[in-house]
Chains A and B, each alone.
Chain A
């Protein structure tokens, strides 16, 4: 291993130094000369007809440069959706327009009505209050089932209804599934809500648009997880700017969790306005604004049924889900409840027959899209909850029921269209029982009971599909983009390397982990490798970071490019040593000729590539720079088993997490420290979803949780230390690193563990409670205990 850390080393993160000293460069830290500021006047009603927006008085306010309304965006493109779902009747989904600024109607609280650009942010905000606007409030639809009723108010008048699509998966299996339910020895049914969440990266979104009139070049600085995707979506579909005239930069980004994947109206606005005003235009979201303008997550209402035979084998699974799309289709919204959810309904189990129905619904709420896990947490939650309920109904051990139904042979083709390449679910369950000290639970329960507390243990498994995604497959499924990743590896003359990756780091530690891979491949110090990301002018077209894909797809592209580098370097080395290329070996940063003591150092070869005096110019070009695009041949399938122990205060309903253990199989691991950190963070968010977080609207579409005063974020004292383990490793069979991805696992695996544990605690206290919808707040748990 290279002395400062190759694959498998818990190398300390190099990016930490700038973050710890206040020297990060986040988008809001960027201020351009002559910059103006925009404030968006946002709708305070959920649904309404815009009669009038009079900006005359406001335009005369101090510092105001120009006020834009929807009329200024006539002829400008709609904010596009990147995924088209085909419904169970073969029809494509209903897809409404999404203007940059509202035109004719407002459709959710927070929908932008006007944008005020002024010399200062305060002037823009002051002027917003002088805009005279008149909106006829219309009845709003908030509840999805109400939205689908005959005669319900329509969010989009030009659509036939509020139904985006009615998706059946696998439609051909439906009859066989229904038949299996007829024959079942036992059927367990559960109706549940996967609560609407707000991603809440700690850095609010920011956009700075810039335009150079003399060159016609646009630049957008934005808090994005995928600047290349923003360049394509905004340039090609909204503003009509060719990519070579549009640069998108996402510098240090303070967390994303999915909500910074999407292309947002504010990005398009700042880019548009910078040209219109010939000045840089900056927007910084406040947190309150983020609550009503960042895409939300989850928000599924589901009925799930599990059929078992007399021996407790799962024979069929049937689900019926309503998925909230909000008022417009955010970038990847249609894919979340379908291809990221339906395809995972087999979980870790060999259920032979599965049918998933999803109705996606427009409502007068903020658009809903991917949030950490995106579809997979929703699948895992309902499946692992219904299995737990079945175990209780049947009076069998929930771990044993799971083990009995585990998939054990790989590759395994599920009845929901995916093929798991590898896994070992008994191994992760064994590991979980060990690290979670499951056998010691009863003693801990007695100790809790002695204190007057109810103690519960919740166990569950999860599987996810990561390494998103094979382009030809997702193309068939409706993706309007490829999902490969790219890397350019540039070797400098003196041997240092720069990797330009299409992946984007917003906390994941790529700047540290990616060099470990190259260090291992070449046998040099990781400190000789620098990672560049987040700038469309610096590197090839890339697809960005989400879906636990960066190492599995972006890392693989980097490996492929590095392999090309090594192959070329070997040719140069062969020339320098007057040997046959086939005999050249690369080890510990030196090239040698097999069976001889001849060798040249890495730096001698790289120097020869750039100072080609003694160089085979007739055979190969000078220089040492290679690009690779890697398109995965399958998803990766991380899996694991989680255990949560809770105490419930029977007097108040308050739940405390006493222990949490996670045994994951991520395949090979590059940096164990970073992987553990990813799992910790995911568990923190999963506990948040299970106990604390809920985005709530009232019946008029008013956002009731508009700030941290009402939206409960997990704090340090809401969580314990976690015990995590990733020593169970079944390497991915189809990518060069054998890695699977770890970013979302914690958020996927933890909510059912928490809820299963609370139900276990309540039942141990004699309460006949079989389900409580998340978040399991004290008041909800107390209410459930009252029967």
Chain B
């Protein structure tokens, strides 16, 4: 790692002002950032740790029924505390491993937008709203390709608000080494339609599979998407699977998510 200073603000306001300095970078749970720093792939002059900000932690249900999760809430706490949205709790409970889940946060995961991360599919698949230190961003506007989001420099994810669907499921097919999603599909059935979000597969990062959404909105059953497929050409192709394999898995995992949705 290159040398840097660490600050540990205790309020969102202090964190925002600390991040106002040039070459300052936010540090969530650090489960991706710290390994990246070890490889010297990032060189912040200052890290602003968000783990000491209690107002960014916790889970509650808003008056409109949405499940609100603080941006600094770790995966283990979401797994244990998001019972109102079982598919989301289940997703959080299978990110990384237990020790990673005790540190990694939802805000950190979303801000990083790793193309193989789980959370982006839940946020996009739920049509959630990302609340930041200065605005609200709809999920459809938040993700902007691999490792890229609508966040501006110094902007912190303080909360994510999930509308709770009638039923939902996340099905992950793990890359054998990293255990990240080789393909993960989040399916959520809302009164006004079904959303299907796919992570791990595309070179463009998390995406909605609109063809499947249309078919499932008409008939929420695995067989509704028989014959549908995504194009393998835009899919990631690497040691762990070709684009065609990932495209195939998108359909398989989508069917399984529909079958498992509750």
Contact = CB atoms under 8 A, between A and B. Distances in A.
Interface of A: 122, 126, 129, 286, 288, 651-652, 654, 691-692, 694, 696, 704-705, 708-713, 715, 777-779, 782-783
A712 B176 contact: yes
Contact of A779 (B3, B179, B240): B240
What 3 A-B pairs come out closest when comparing CB atoms? A712-B177, A779-B241, A712-B176
B239 interface: yes
B173 A652 contact: yes
A716 to B, nearest CB: 11
Contact of B176 (A286, A288, A651, A777): A777
B190 interface: no
B39 interface: yes
A777 B240 CA distance: 8
B93 to A, nearest CB: 14
Contacts of A288: 39
A692 B1 CA distance: 30
A129 B39 CA distance: 13
Nearest to A709: B178
Contact of A696 (B2, B173, B239, B245): B239
Taking each of B39, B245, B252, which has the highest tally of chain A beta carbons within 10 Å of its own beta carbon?
B245
A784 to B, nearest CB: 12
B10 interface: no
A288 B39 CA distance: 9
A454 to B, nearest CB: 15
Contacts of B31: none
B252 A126 contact: no
B242 interface: yes
A412 B176 CA distance: 43
B248 interface: yes
A710 B245 contact: no
B249 interface: yes
A654 to B, nearest CB: 8
Given A126-B2, A705-B239, A777-B240, A782 B177 contact: no
A122 B3 contact: yes
Given A777-B176, A778-B176, 9 more contacts: A122-B3, A652-B252, A691-B176, A705-B177, A705-B239, A710-B177, A710-B239, A715-B179, A779-B240
Nearest to A715: B179
Nearest to A651: B252
B176 A692 contact: yes
A652 B247 CA distance: 11
6 contacts: A692-B176, A696-B239, A710-B178, A712-B176, A779-B241, A783-B242
Nearest to B255: A651
A704 to B, nearest CB: 6
B91 to A, nearest CB: 18
Contact of B242 (A691, A704, A709, A779): A779
Given A652-B249, A779-B241, A709 B177 contact: yes
Chain A CB within 10 A, most for which of B173, B176, B177, B179 = B176
Contacts of B249: 652
Contact of A708 (B177, B242, B252): B177
Contacts of A709: 177-178
B3 A704 contact: no
A708 B178 contact: yes
A129 B2 CA distance: 11
Contacts of B2: 126
Contacts of A704: 239
A711 B240 CA distance: 10
Contacts of A705: 177, 239
Nearest to A691: B176
Contacts of A779: 240-242, 245
A711 B248 contact: no
B176 A783 contact: no
Contact of A783 (B39, B173, B177, B245): B245
A634 B239 CA distance: 44
Contacts of B240: 710, 777, 779
B248 A782 contact: yes
Contact of B1 (A122, A651, A691, A696): A122
A776 to B, nearest CB: 11
Contacts of A783: 242, 245
B247 to A, nearest CB: 12
B176 A782 contact: no
Contacts of B179: 715
Nearest to A714: B176
B42 to A, nearest CB: 14
A782 B251 CA distance: 14
Contacts of B177: 692, 705, 708-713
Contacts of A710: 177-178, 239-240
Interface in B134-190: 173, 176-179, 182
A292 to B, nearest CB: 13
B181 to A, nearest CB: 13
Contacts of B39: 288
A713 B179 CA distance: 11
A755 B177 CA distance: 20
Nearest to A649: B252
Nearest to B179: A715
B109 to A, nearest CB: 16
A122 B3 CA distance: 9
Contacts of A715: 179
Interface string B230-250: 000000000111100100110
A116 to B, nearest CB: 14
A696 B248 CA distance: 24
A65 to B, nearest CB: 19
B3 A782 contact: no
Contacts of B242: 779, 783
A412 B239 CA distance: 45
A355 B178 CA distance: 42
Interface in B208-262: 239-242, 245, 248-249, 252
Contacts of B239: 694, 696, 704-705, 710
Contacts of B176: 691-692, 712, 777-778
